[in-house]
Amino acid sequence: MDPQTPRHKSLAGQTVTVDLDRRRRCGFPEVVYGEGKTVEAIAAVFDEQHARGEPAMATRVSPEQAEALLPLLSGATYNQVARILRRESHPGRPRVGKVAVVSAGSSDLPIAEEARETLDWMGVAVTMVHDVGVAGPHRLPERLAEFEDADAVVVVAGMEGALPSVVGGYLACPVVGVPTSVGYGANFQGLSALLSMLNSCASNVTVVNIDAGFKGGYVAGLIATRAAAGTEGRRDA
Amino acid sequence: MDPQTPRHKSLAGQTVTVDLDRRRRCGFPEVVYGEGKTVEAIAAVFDEQHARGEPAMATRVSPEQAEALLPLLSGATYNQVARILRRESHPGRPRVGKVAVVSAGSSDLPIAEEARETLDWMGVAVTMVHDVGVAGPHRLPERLAEFEDADAVVVVAGMEGALPSVVGGYLACPVVGVPTSVGYGANFQGLSALLSMLNSCASNVTVVNIDAGFKGGYVAGLIATRAAAGTEGRRDA
Amino acid sequence: MDPQTPRHKSLAGQTVTVDLDRRRRCGFPEVVYGEGKTVEAIAAVFDEQHARGEPAMATRVSPEQAEALLPLLSGATYNQVARILRRESHPGRPRVGKVAVVSAGSSDLPIAEEARETLDWMGVAVTMVHDVGVAGPHRLPERLAEFEDADAVVVVAGMEGALPSVVGGYLACPVVGVPTSVGYGANFQGLSALLSMLNSCASNVTVVNIDAGFKGGYVAGLIATRAAAGTEGRRDA
Amino acid sequence: MDPQTPRHKSLAGQTVTVDLDRRRRCGFPEVVYGEGKTVEAIAAVFDEQHARGEPAMATRVSPEQAEALLPLLSGATYNQVARILRRESHPGRPRVGKVAVVSAGSSDLPIAEEARETLDWMGVAVTMVHDVGVAGPHRLPERLAEFEDADAVVVVAGMEGALPSVVGGYLACPVVGVPTSVGYGANFQGLSALLSMLNSCASNVTVVNIDAGFKGGYVAGLIATRAAAGTEGRRDA
Amino acid sequence: MDPQTPRHKSLAGQTVTVDLDRRRRCGFPEVVYGEGKTVEAIAAVFDEQHARGEPAMATRVSPEQAEALLPLLSGATYNQVARILRRESHPGRPRVGKVAVVSAGSSDLPIAEEARETLDWMGVAVTMVHDVGVAGPHRLPERLAEFEDADAVVVVAGMEGALPSVVGGYLACPVVGVPTSVGYGANFQGLSALLSMLNSCASNVTVVNIDAGFKGGYVAGLIATRAAAGTEGRRDA
Amino acid sequence: MDPQTPRHKSLAGQTVTVDLDRRRRCGFPEVVYGEGKTVEAIAAVFDEQHARGEPAMATRVSPEQAEALLPLLSGATYNQVARILRRESHPGRPRVGKVAVVSAGSSDLPIAEEARETLDWMGVAVTMVHDVGVAGPHRLPERLAEFEDADAVVVVAGMEGALPSVVGGYLACPVVGVPTSVGYGANFQGLSALLSMLNSCASNVTVVNIDAGFKGGYVAGLIATRAAAGTEGRRDA
Amino acid sequence: MDPQTPRHKSLAGQTVTVDLDRRRRCGFPEVVYGEGKTVEAIAAVFDEQHARGEPAMATRVSPEQAEALLPLLSGATYNQVARILRRESHPGRPRVGKVAVVSAGSSDLPIAEEARETLDWMGVAVTMVHDVGVAGPHRLPERLAEFEDADAVVVVAGMEGALPSVVGGYLACPVVGVPTSVGYGANFQGLSALLSMLNSCASNVTVVNIDAGFKGGYVAGLIATRAAAGTEGRRDA
Amino acid sequence: MDPQTPRHKSLAGQTVTVDLDRRRRCGFPEVVYGEGKTVEAIAAVFDEQHARGEPAMATRVSPEQAEALLPLLSGATYNQVARILRRESHPGRPRVGKVAVVSAGSSDLPIAEEARETLDWMGVAVTMVHDVGVAGPHRLPERLAEFEDADAVVVVAGMEGALPSVVGGYLACPVVGVPTSVGYGANFQGLSALLSMLNSCASNVTVVNIDAGFKGGYVAGLIATRAAAGTEGRRDA
């Protein structure tokens, strides 16, 4: 379940149900969509997952929610830019795979950070490449060496949303485009960037919803963990 | 380059340039977008790739184009439903990875076939699952066993475009949704299915353009070939 | 008249006119659309209907309006989630017919509750089925037995709005889809769910406006009361 | 399954599968969506249903298809305006329930006829009321007596799509609005009528897709057959 | 100039220029669009017009602006529902012509009042007919006698915007439809009503912008004053 | 009834009903919308109106339809540019009122001609002013003297649709804007011109549907005939 | 006047008026928009301009029109890709200024050629740079030296329309973006490229209509001819 | 880089990087997009540019930001209407070129001022022409003499956005249209003006994003500085 589909009823008097079977079915535990949830509801899920040794994560958590939750959840950390609250189950575990999160301008940073936190929670190694939008076309090539061996790249861009096409043209791995609502006027709250990415002339570009940093990171993380393991070996075994 | 961005000039009197460096940069040779190209232009690319031992492929090739091309290109085959013309370089090579192409209704078949041919050309093993749209909700679970170990799934659906969400809910691997223009009225030539897939409540669903069977297959193929090989091993080596 | 078309003038100094002929023409008394109405205007309608033994109901009533109205209207109750204020005329009367209100995620709850209160006010028996969205596709079949004998089903869903198609595929009765504005980005305030439901491949799905929980419940209630009575007998009599 | 979701593969060389369990699950046999199907595929479904005593129906059948099919299917009839081909299993069976199909202008006739044929195939009694659009506002009241006892009304209208609201204001039964693409300019192929019906100020109006005469008739038929039978009795029995 | 195009600069330090030639060119003095204007700017225009014996009017004036302006402008009156501030030059002058302002629901009242105040300022006799929306179809015919001799009718409606078509069907005079933004969901801030009115099947319906009560009233007033005078006589004279 | 709402059933075997009461209710006889009608249906209406001394008119009549109709209808004339077929009842009657039809470019001519024929059929005097679009801004002022005494002006323009605002700024009479679908690209089949006219900063501009030359002419004709007569006198009489 | 606004009436029997004052007002003679014009109308304009020593040009001329016109107009040439017919007045005159026309893919060639012919007709030197779309990001930098001293650059691109941003990032001169309708699905006939260019993060990018090769070339030509001359000198002189 | 693409990270703890190479590549120093930036980040850029003798400018700076910044930056000035903060490096330098900024109504003034400040910062001479919208069509011709020798004209207009076409028809120089979001209803936040300008029938009109006063001024400034210098001479030298 996408954190955008809250499962846990947060309205007063309603009980909380955690989908503890999630890791078996989907490979990763359930994520909490924090927007509109009560502090009690979020804390309950974190505690139940903690008891089972699962890492917990909630997206779109406001600073006010975080301020109330952090004292209740020992070991939890909050990234205000990404609006993500997390608690690691095995903090020191090694990273697998490699994903780059590439963003066009500094206003795209919150969505890029949401992707980065998601990947970190999945245990995937992440490289961040900021501020390489197409209007400064010399910037991206200078930094390609940092991520040309990535298993997947998340590209976050608003306004004209052209960056995924350019990144896709340089690399062979899958590129997950995340359009953002950064812009004004004929941007129409991200529609311009969304259409650009859907019409990308690069064959390796796919797209998620506007401002969907979590989903962009999640899909890239799935690709990277599978690439890291080598499923062919697993399937034959 | 997406086959939708024709590189080869097909207007009378113009020369043809094949991007023979493509496999090194992107892992696969260049694909020809057949729509509007002359028979001569397509044949020239196929011949040049054949001379170098590369498999050739052209998308959106009409039956009329194919009828003229097949006598010129020994060993080439044409799939009229998919509108794809191909010539294998090493016909007997073993398949790697595993991708399922799942489609909702029989009108979605041409786009599903375009994805299948693309995957076959990439050397990826494919499982086809037709006619499992959500209005007959018992159909999909009956066939899950055929592809639950896939590295990636391409889901092709028009009308309300709900199938990728349901497939995404059953499986842990990345799902590439391909909305089709199948439908009428408030479908708005595929907009309805496109928006559905972008708003999917399943975390593992990404989306490509309407009717973009080639791109859906291509991205799934990239995921599967990487998963099959296990990049972690390659990177450390 | 839909409560969305307020008949009673609530601007200062204007008189209130209740359509007391409504039950004869339409089968049910007039409903007050509470948004923007004064406390005095709503109270006057409730009192006039009470005097005639009619059950009263107002939709889209804010907590502030309800707090002022409850002391004035003995026997009235307020459902804050549904934003509905009601006063029963014959509290103990038996229920007729059977309608299920099925919702996809917990954010859809307010609209589902608006439908439920409407049906309760109509005297129709209601079964609530929450949190069975398509991304957890095992959830709906587990609960089908609770409502497979319903006369009509109201399905409330935001985001990709796929649930009515799936419910429609399992059942033979009419399904009234209520798209909600739950979602973000390419959801476009409910447009995505609306288009999905209009393009449903299930033949028994009809649609009402975005967030129109009252109308969804009302139409399902009309179907159920007629089914319960058996009009054929009535017409022949 | 909506006839808009063809189940039977009509591409050369593909086999035909009829969903013979349909009547048990959904109350009525499968309907064939004729557009793009081969004559052989349609004939095969009709024959298989005939063998089991099921009435057969295909929608969106062109005159060319019909001309080829009629000699093959004894007892079949074709309504060119509705584009529907049917074969009755029990031609003389009595009608149940009562549905009115009300249309605004003569250009809406093909969609109204599609609804009428569907209802006739379901065994529901139908009253047709043509040419009562709102610009001649005296016309509808003159004809109300013909259908004021209907179990459900299908209202077919293009252009401004206002007729369902007016019909809904006169009657207590459910009204299924079918917007048509009749109009030009700012009609945007039926969008204007669709939005009008979704925003109807009458509480008893629901909506189906643009030009969806089959679905409008089908839902009204479901309501009428249930109303005719009286489910309350059935459920208690 | 439409009051929507403010001519008078209201930013601090800027001078005010009144178009005192307006009555000669356009038949009526300039109207002030109050939104965003300073109290000083509005007062200056009113004073200058007063000095020349012109009636003054400002639209979209907030209660806060009005509270500050009324003590400065003797004889001025403010209609809070219409948000219009006016000062008559010749309060007792006789009315000419006849316009009806017909509205669908009570939420449309502010726009209807804006039209009424405009007509009153033009010196045109006005008949107000409220709450005759199409969902209560018996209401309009009951009141037709009040305005069947009007020179023009302004029809104000939100939601499905069907009322102008019905009014247009009953009468021979020009009908000016004013769509309002009243509604929610698929109303899209008045788009639904706007499209309905543009697609009206009544030949005598024209349309102005969403919520443009001033313009609707102004055009109807132009028609009525010309009809009252009889231009044929004037032209021949 | 707008000719866009055909009343006469033209499908084979259907009878024709002429609304002979139209002149009494609406001031003018019924107009036939020719598109899709049979030659027989159109001829029948013309003959019936001829028998009663009514002038007949059909819009959107193709050259093929006209070629077949002209030999059947003595005295009828066909304007191929306007696609209008007419038969005068009293050819020599004097014109009343005065309307100008002003158009922006020569591609707008068919719609301007449709308006002119409509006005001529109504017995209104018409002045045609072609080719005065805003990109040649000196052209309009040079020709103002030809129509500054008009009772109403119909302004026909495609592309940016700016002409009605400019005409409205020069004149005091009502301006009926008719947007046309002339243009390409971001014109979106007339949407650009339609929005321009709806947002006109001139207070005297109203709008009809895209390419609705008949309706534009009809409304202007209603204004002019009333202005010519002087309703005040009539009402007092 | 834009050639898209045909001034010359081409309907049978209408006379042709050439705006011979155009060069004085706008710097260049009138251009004929060929679409829908008769051969006679186009030939008449060319002859009149030839008599006065003006170069003639017509855009959007079909091969059929050209075939008929070329024998009539000695010295005229036709570019079938650009659909432009021209006749030079002073073939050997030197070029002034420098404009580059840069295009993304070979399907954009017709629009690029339309721009090139327009510039050539204006007497401006042109450099063509084809096939440098962003998905092959190494291609543009390799060719920058060819046009880095241009006075203005016209960038023609369809699909995601990203190329103007990248070109704008490399250069200081004005960039005129011409979006094309090349693409499919969520391209929406060029909307995607249009929005991209309007939202460009490069400060020096302006935009013209979809497929408006003539206008893109024309504006760039105006910039270049002014830059070449140096207006400062002219103004002071 | 467009100021809309902030390069300087303003989030707490992030360092600031100024693109000091900008003048060489693009002809002008970097501009700061002030919205959402911290006071410290903006001050740091201004100080660094001041140290190098560069003029500094920040757009979309709120009064609150300006109040905090002005005491820190000696010599800086703030235009509250334009929301621009600037510091001149060489205050007395002579102006080059000539640009006119023409606006339609007083609500368009903030965008016109943003263009004017940008041009002033570029060292270009500016002529302001306010309040010449098309509804008062006599106003523009009266003021043409003030700017008919301009190198480029920026035309700022909301509502129907017709002014650039009219200006373009009077002048031969490039016209940069800046649509504004001024208006209501069917204006759709500037969409109406944007489409008008893109569809302009004047050949010399290009367009930038809605409310993009900076970009409009910047492009006009580029044209004027090049025209002033005369590039032909420079290139040959």
Query: Residue H33 — very low, low, confident or very high, per pLDDT cuts 50/70/90?
Result: confident
Residue C199: list chain D partners with CB under 8 A: 209
DSSP letter (8 states) at residue H94: P
Closest approach of chain C CAs to the CA of E135, in angstroms? Answer: 6
Q: Is residue D109 within a helix (H) or strand (E), and if so which, with residue range?
A: helix D109-121
Q: Is residue B195 within a helix (H) or strand (E), and if so which, with residue range?
A: helix B191-198
Which of A38, A53, A87 represents a domain boundary (last residue)? A87
H136 CB within 8 Å of a chain E CB: yes
Q: What pLDDT was estimated at residue G236?
A: 47
| Contact: H184, E2; criterion CB under 8 Å | no
Q: What pLDDT was estimated at residue G199?
A: 96
Q: Is residue A233 within a helix (H) or strand (E), and if so which, with residue range?
A: helix A231-236
Does B76 fall in a domain?
yes
pLDDT of D19 higher than 90: no
DSSP letter (8 states) at residue D191: H
Does H14 fall in a domain?
no
Do A121 and A66 share a structural domain? no
Do D159 and D118 share a structural domain? yes
Q: How far apart are CA A129 and CA G204, in angstroms?
A: 26
What is the crossing angle of helices C163-170 and C191-198, to 10°? 30
B10 CB within 8 Å of a chain G CB: yes
Do A120 and A52 share a structural domain? no
Q: How far apart are CA F176 and CA F191, in angstroms?
A: 17
| Contact: F194, D183; criterion CB under 8 Å | no
H11 CB within 8 Å of a chain E CB: no
Q: How far apart are CA H51 and CA C104, in angstroms?
A: 60
Percent of chain H with pLDDT over 70: 86
Q: What pLDDT was estimated at residue F36?
A: 77
B199-210 pLDDT, tens digit each:
999 999 999 999
Do A187 and A128 share a structural domain? yes
Does G62 fall in a domain?
yes
D11 CB within 8 Å of a chain B CB: yes
F135: closest chain H residue by CA: H169
CA of A56: how far to CAs of A37, D20, E85, in Å?
15, 48, 60
Does C3 fall in a domain?
no
Number of domains in chain H: 2
| Contact: G199, A191; criterion CB under 8 Å | no
Closest approach of chain A CAs to the CA of G140, in angstroms? Answer: 10
> What is the residue range of G143's domain?
96-229
Q: How far apart are CA D43 and CA A35, in angstroms?
A: 55
**Chains with ≥3 CB–CB distances under 8 Å to G:** A, B, F, H
Do C161 and C61 share a structural domain? no
Smallest Cβ distance to A185: which of H8, H11, H212? Answer: H212
Closest approach of chain D CAs to the CA of F143, in angstroms? Answer: 30
pLDDT of G96 higher than 60: yes
Residue G195: list chain A partners with CB under 8 A: 160, 186-188, 191-192, 195-196
pLDDT of B20 higher than 70: no
E212 CB within 8 Å of a chain H CB: yes
Q: What pLDDT was estimated at residue C17?
A: 58
Does D14 fall in a domain?
no
Q: What pLDDT was estimated at residue G19?
A: 64
Closest approach of chain D CAs to the CA of F9, in angstroms? Answer: 6
Residue F18 in tokens:
């002429």
pTM: 0.92
Q: What pLDDT was estimated at residue B209?
A: 98
Q: Which amino acid is at A226?
A: R
Q: What pLDDT was estimated at residue B11?
A: 42
pLDDT of B193 higher than 90: yes
Q: Are A124 and A225 contacting, i.e. CB atoms less than 8 angstroms apart?
A: yes
Residue G42 in tokens:
């186009």
Looking at residue C121, which CATH number applies to its domain? 3.40.50.1970
Contact exists between F and C (3 or more beta carbon pairs < 8 Å): no
Interface F-H, measured as beta-carbon pairs within 8 A, has a size of 116
Closest CA to H208 of H109, H115, H133: H115
Q: How far apart are CA G176 and CA G164, in angstroms?
A: 8
pLDDT average, residue stretch A45-55:
90
Which of A61, A87, A113 represents a domain boundary (last residue)? A87
D181 CB within 8 Å of a chain B CB: yes
Q: Is residue A176 within a helix (H) or strand (E), and if so which, with residue range?
A: strand A175-179
Smallest Cβ distance to A2: which of C106, C130, C135? Answer: C135
CA of F168: how far to CAs of E5, F109, F153, F163, G172, in Å?
14, 20, 9, 8, 42
| Contact: H7, A105; criterion CB under 8 Å | yes
Query: Residue C33 — very low, low, confident or very high, per pLDDT cuts 50/70/90?
Result: confident
Q: What pLDDT was estimated at residue B98?
A: 96
| Contact: E195, D200; criterion CB under 8 Å | no
Do D197 and D101 share a structural domain? yes
Taking the alpha carbons of E133, E138, E139, E141 in that order, is the dihedral positive or negative? positive
Q: How far apart are CA G177 and CA G174, in angstroms?
A: 10
pLDDT average, residue stretch B210-227:
96
| Higher pLDDT, residue A11 or B133 | B133
pLDDT average, residue stretch G182-210:
96
E32-33/D175-179 β-pairing = unpaired
C225 CB within 8 Å of a chain B CB: no
Does D46 fall in a domain?
yes
A83-123 pLDDT, tens digit each:
999 998 777 778 999 999 999 988 899 999 999 999 999 99
A147 CB-near residues (< 8 Å, 6+ apart): A98, A100, A102, A127, A129, A153
User: Per-residue b/e over F29-42, b at no fewer than 16 CB within 10 Å?
Assistant: bbbbbbbebbbebb
Q: How far apart are CA G40 and CA F81, in angstroms?
A: 19
G194: closest chain F residue by CA: F186
A20 CB within 8 Å of a chain C CB: no
**How does the average pLDDT of chain G come out, rounded?**
87
D107 CB within 8 Å of a chain F CB: yes
Q: Which amino acid is at F82?
A: A
Do F101 and F198 share a structural domain? yes
Smallest Cβ distance to C2: which of D2, D174, D201? Answer: D201
A172 CB within 8 Å of a chain G CB: no
Residue C206: list chain B partners with CB under 8 A: none
B205-207/B175-179 β-pairing = parallel
H154 pairs with which residues across the strands?
A: H101, H176
Do G123 and G28 share a structural domain? no
Do A156 and A196 share a structural domain? yes
Query: What is the per-residue DSSP string for E122-150?
Result: HTEEEEEE-S--TTSTTHHHHHGGGTTT-
Task: Quote the distance between the C-alpha of residue C118 and its chain's center.
Answer: 4
| Contact: B201, C165; criterion CB under 8 Å | no
ipTM: 0.89
Which of H87, H106, H141 represents a domain boundary (last residue)? H87
Q: Among the residues of C55-190, which ranges form H helices?
A: 63-69, 109-121, 139-143, 163-170
Q: Are E188 and D147 contacting, i.e. CB atoms less than 8 angstroms apart?
A: no
Q: What pLDDT was estimated at residue C19?
A: 63
Q: Residue E93, exposed/middle/buried by CB under 10 A (0-12, 13-18, 19+)?
A: exposed
Residue H184: list chain E partners with CB under 8 A: 4, 209-211
Q: Are F206 and E207 contacting, i.e. CB atoms less than 8 angstroms apart?
A: yes
Q: What pLDDT was estimated at residue E231?
A: 54
C208 CB within 8 Å of a chain D CB: yes
pLDDT < 70 stretches in chain E: 1-22, 231-237
Closest approach of chain F CAs to the CA of H188, in angstroms? Answer: 9
Residue G185: list chain B partners with CB under 8 A: 179, 181, 189-190, 194, 209-212
DSSP letter (8 states) at residue B93: P
Does G115 fall in a domain?
yes
Residue G109: list chain B partners with CB under 8 A: 9, 11
| Higher pLDDT, residue B89 or D152 | D152
| Contact: D11, B105; criterion CB under 8 Å | no
Q: How far apart are CA G59 and CA G4, in angstroms?
A: 8
Contact exists between B and G (3 or more beta carbon pairs < 8 Å): yes
pLDDT of H160 higher than 80: yes
Percent of chain D with pLDDT over 90: 67
Q: What pLDDT was estimated at residue C231?
A: 54
pLDDT of F200 higher than 90: yes
Closest approach of chain G CAs to the CA of H32, in angstroms? Answer: 12
| Higher pLDDT, residue C21 or C49 | C49
Do G69 and G109 share a structural domain? no
Do C102 and C169 share a structural domain? yes
| Contact: H219, G198; criterion CB under 8 Å | no
| Contact: C107, A11; criterion CB under 8 Å | no
Closest approach of chain H CAs to the CA of E22, in angstroms? Answer: 10
pLDDT of C134 higher than 90: no
pLDDT of F19 higher than 70: no
Does H192 fall in a domain?
yes
**How does the average pLDDT of chain A come out, rounded?**
87
Smallest Cβ distance to B206: which of A97, A176, A235? Answer: A176
Residue G168 in tokens:
């704008």
Do A101 and A50 share a structural domain? no
Q: Which amino acid is at E167?
A: V
| Contact: H105, E7; criterion CB under 8 Å | yes
F96 CB within 8 Å of a chain E CB: yes
Q: What pLDDT was estimated at residue F9?
A: 35
Smallest Cβ distance to B1: which of G130, G136, G187? Answer: G136
pLDDT of B14 higher than 90: no
